[in-house]
């Protein structure tokens, strides 16, 4: 029997644990760096087993601005998963299993344009997949084709941009994020080619995260913090890992505060969100949690 993607009650999945108790349920998920462990109050770890293996860590469920929020560090607590090894399917499935229907996804990105310098917050509206070996679907049998022309939640993006402006950020309200496998950074030639296509940001984790969220009818909103100018934009040695970590760490406290304010303003209802209806009319080969 096909799953109801809009149902708030978990339907279960073969190989998955029983639904989490109400006390450990959350409506909003945050996928980010380990610095967000300080983000939640009265937090409790929830162990979730999925049909797609173990998530990066146990899901941490607590409160932010009076709302139930689940946090999952995409690279693991100790950053043991490089971008190409992150268990993306397990992570998204685990979040939906604890009730999450909206996701905020802060991440570090490089800039392909001088107008988006380090420290710029971008809420991209488009995505280009340049990865090669990442599994990007939950549906290995049957025909499940989700619309992905606009890869991010329009209502979530609008909320994030408005709140960022109120909080004193000068957010870029559009941009195209090209996602590469990594773990290496781009060559100058690659970087210049990406920029020549009109793409503005480059990262390693935004895909397949976004499409997997869409396949679970989740609202996914990226918050891209520029940490560096990519290799093709400047002379010198090019971007380094130390540079990326330093800029992201410098902005972590401010980014946490911003995410909390966005969480506070997110509406409980999703009836007007197209993401919530992504699976309408599709017969799914598996039941969703």
For 230-239, the pLDDT digits (tens) are 886 764 456 6
| Secondary-structure class of domain 22-276 per CATH | alpha beta
129 is catalytic: no
Please tell me the predicted confidence (pLDDT) of residue 217: 98
Tokens at 38, concatenated: 């300080």
For the chain, the structural domain boundaries read 22-276
Which residues of the chain fall short of a pLDDT of 50? 1-15, 235-236
Please tell me the predicted confidence (pLDDT) of residue 34: 63
Please tell me the predicted confidence (pLDDT) of residue 52: 97
Task: State the catalytic residue, choosing from 4, 125, 140, 230.
Answer: 230
Residues ≥6 apart with Cβ < 8 Å to 112: 178, 191, 194, 195, 199, 200, 201, 202, 230, 232, 233
Whether the predicted model's global pTM rises above the 0.85 cut: yes
Task: State the catalytic residue, choosing from 27, 228, 273, 280.
Answer: 228
Please tell me the predicted confidence (pLDDT) of residue 234: 63
Please tell me the predicted confidence (pLDDT) of residue 246: 78
181 is catalytic: no
Tokens at 152, concatenated: 């991010």
Please tell me the predicted confidence (pLDDT) of residue 5: 35
User: pLDDT for 35-51, tens place per residue?
Assistant: 777 778 788 999 999 99
Which residue carries 């990594």 as its tokens? 182
Cα gap 92→98, rounded to integer Å: 10
């Amino acid at each position: 029997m096909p799953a109801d993607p809009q149902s708030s009650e978990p339907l279960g999945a073969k190989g998955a644990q029983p639904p989490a108790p109400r006390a450990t349920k959350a409506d909003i998920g945050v996928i980010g760096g380990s610095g967000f462990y300080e983000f939640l109050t009265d937090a409790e770890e929830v162990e979730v087993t999925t049909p797609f293996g173990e998530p990066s860590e146990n899901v941490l469920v607590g409160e932010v601005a009076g709302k139930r929020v689940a946090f999952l560090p995409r690279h693991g607590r100790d950053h043991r998963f490089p971008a190409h090894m992150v268990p993306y399917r397990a992570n998204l499935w685990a979040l939906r299993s604890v009730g999450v229907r909206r996701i905020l996804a802060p991440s570090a990105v490089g800039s392909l344009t001088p107008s988006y310098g380090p420290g710029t917050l971008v809420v991209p509206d488009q995505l280009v997949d340049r990865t090669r070996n990442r599994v990007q679907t939950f549906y290995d049998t049957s025909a499940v084709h989700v619309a992905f022309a606009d890869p991010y939640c329009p209502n979530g993006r609008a909320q994030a941009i408005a709140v960022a402006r109120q909080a004193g950020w000068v957010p870029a309200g559009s941009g195209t994020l090209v996602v590469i496998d990594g773990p290496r950074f781009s060559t100058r030639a690659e970087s210049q080619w990406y920029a020549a296509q009109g793409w503005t940001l480059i990262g390693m984790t935004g895909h397949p995260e976004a499409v997997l969220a869409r396949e679970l009818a989740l609202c996914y909103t990226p918050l891209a913090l520029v940490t560096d100018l990519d290799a093709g934009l400047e002379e010198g040695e090019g971007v380094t890992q130390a540079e990326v970590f330093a800029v992201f760490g410098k902005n972590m406290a401010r980014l946490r505060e911003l995410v909390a304010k966005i969480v506070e303003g997110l509406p409980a209802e999703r009836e007007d969100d197209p993401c919530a209806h992504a699976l309408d009319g599709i017969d799914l080969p598996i039941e969703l949690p």
